[in-house]
Amino acid sequence: MLAVATDLLGASLQIDGIGGIIVETEAYRRDDEASHSFRGQTVANAAMFGSPARAYVYRSYGLHWCLNFVCEQGSAVLIRALEPVYGIETMRERRSVSETRKLCSGPGNLCKALSVTGNMNGLSVLAPPFSLELPAAIPAMTSGVRIGISKAAERPWRFAVTGSPYLSKPIRMERNVTD
DNA sequence: CTCAGGATGATCT
DNA sequence: GATCATCCTGAGG
């Protein structure tokens, strides 16, 4: 699952032709207090216990959507930020923001820019409307502590393309990623 | 049935 | 940095 989180960095993600390069991810797994799957399977988190390579989409704070890629049972990788590449004008309209740097900087922003909603929960990310291509060249990577959570936040499972200007926030407690 | 509390983001100070 | 908007889920009575 950590391997998936790093492999996705530099990958190209599009939904209906809109998207860009994944520059920030966060990993969650079953025996992880911060994970939605920690207390077992429920109606809401069922996708996390389904087949791998599917989307787990959930609503955050009542207003935002967040997109995850499901790995093995009960673990998933949260897509936190993209470098916008495809359909930038469409993203600007959806976000009502002009600065490219801010279009997909954060899980909620990214979902708004790509028009991800709860009805995509459980869909395969290997078939339309998704399009996922692994990177031609592996980018330099950095990891740090996860953010926005109160439990088990010290785990260094937040991954980012080193030096990317498109991150949701700067990496904290930075460390090396050795593949 | 009630109800607290989020894997957030925009805005204000 | 603090606040708040706003929706469920799932835990507890």
Q: Is A95 exposed, middle or buried (0-12, 13-18, 19+ CB in 10 A)?
A: middle
Number of domains in chain A: 1
A107 touches A50 (CB < 8 A):
no
pLDDT tens-digit profile of A137-162?
A: 899 999 999 999 988 888 999 999 99
Q: How many angstroms separate the CA of A48 from the C1' of C13? A: 30
A98 touches A92 (CB < 8 A):
yes
Q: What residue numbers bound the domain in which A96 lies? A: 2-176
CATH number at A28 reads 3.10.300.10
Phi, psi of A4 (to 5 degrees): -65, -40
Q: Look at residue A132 and tell me whether its pLDDT is greater than 90.
A: yes
**C-beta within 7 A of nucleic chain C, residues 36-65 of A:** 39, 42-45, 59, 61-63
Structure tokens at A90: 């469409």
- Is the minimum distance from the CB of A24 to strand B below 7 Å? no
pLDDT tens-digit profile of A21-38?
A: 999 999 999 999 999 999
**C-beta within 7 A of nucleic chain C, residues 121-160 of A:** none
Q: To 5 degrees, how large is the angle CA A91–CA A97–CA A8?
A: 50
